[in-house]
Structure 1
């Protein structure tokens, strides 16, 4: 069980580092977009490569931080049943969700994106816009990174569920503890 907890902690650490690094692209996106607007409306000039740049930065950021968002539980979820549920019920829901939906989705994205990305790298695909940025193939590789990072975080979630269901919530990495503030009032998570 400790090895599983270590693997989950390693995955969470990876997504944490990647998430914190790539989230800084948001600042770059704002600065580049602001520069494009100022150039266009104050100086009546425009550079297509700068427009490509902030769109590509946005795509890179959102695909790279998807695993980090899953780690932080920031993805959209209907919490009608999940939020008030006990830790054990959440673990079952997470395990089923990961095995039935998340991992198959990641597999489909990965499988169908490989030929798309390989083709882009094969001919060094660049922007379709005249005067646009080169290196679109690099951005397309982020599709694979998205599938891998979110699948890895799904594996960490499955491990968390297994640890909880095995009666070892103490081994769950601190980064992915179930929050106790969402438990029904007057209940104890351990009693679930």
Structure 2
């Protein structure tokens, strides 16, 4: 079981660190677009659409990484002051009753949308745009799968904490985001 947890965590860690580079690439491409347009009077629909693609890939593929590092938004009014046991119980219940059903619903509802896009190899409405809309839509399903996998890992960590097989993470570690309030 711990090998599966480690494998899932490593997968989302690697994907998150890889797609994080898209943030820098987006800034550089946007800078090039602005320089081309306002200095040289040249426009590129393909480059403009690439920003949308990179933005979508970045946020959809890094969601599992964000969950791995406890970076998703939550109501910290009760969670922040909770004991490690209560935090593990909250994470387990949240994963089982909210995260998993929502991700399964996303896959269920997105499947026809994505498969129809693949059936026609949907592309940009612009002639000189990126003709890979079907790939962008596929990321919806990849997002849900990565979130389910990370949810399985989170639930397993929670069960291990509740049973005493694992110690809770140190709240002062580098992985824990600083408290704002």
| Structure 2: gaps (5+ residues) | 174-181
SS in structure 1 at match of 2:172? helix
Query: Are 1:109 and 2:106 matched, yes or no?
Result: yes
Q: Give, in whole Å, the separation in 2 of the partners of 1:68 and 1:54.
A: 21
RMSD after superposition: 1.3
- Listed as ranges, the matches of 1:110-125 within 5 Å are 110-125=107-122
Superposition deviation, residue 148 in structure 1: 0.3
- What is the CA-CA distance between 1:123 and the residue it aligns to? 0.7
Question: Is 1:178 paired with 2:169?
Answer: yes
Instruction: Report the CA distance between 1:45 and its aligned residue.
Output: 1.6
Moved over 3 A (4+): none
Mapped partners of 1:144, 1:125: distance in 2: 16
The answer to whether residue 151 in structure 2 is matched with residue 160 in structure 1 is no
Matched, 1:5 2:27: no
SS at match of 1:128: coil
Return the alpha-carbon distance in structure 1 between the equivalents of residues 134 and 121 of structure 2: 6
Cα distance in 1 for partners of 2:81, 2:33 equals 46
Q: TM-score, normalised by structure 2?
A: 0.91
Offset from partner CA, 1:159-184 (integer Å, 9 cap, x none): 011101111114xxxxxx523339xx
Q: In structure 2, how many angstroms separate the alpha carbons of the residues matched to 1:94 and 1:70? A: 11
* Alignment length (residue pairs): 173
Find the counterpart in structure 2 of residue 35 from structure 1. 32
Alpha-carbon distance in structure 2 between the residues aligned to 1:129 and 1:61 = 23
Could you tell me how far 1:132 is from its partner in structure 2? 0.9
Is 1:60 aligned to residue 51 of structure 2?
no
Aligned equivalent of 2:93 = 96
Structure 1 length-normalised TM? 0.86
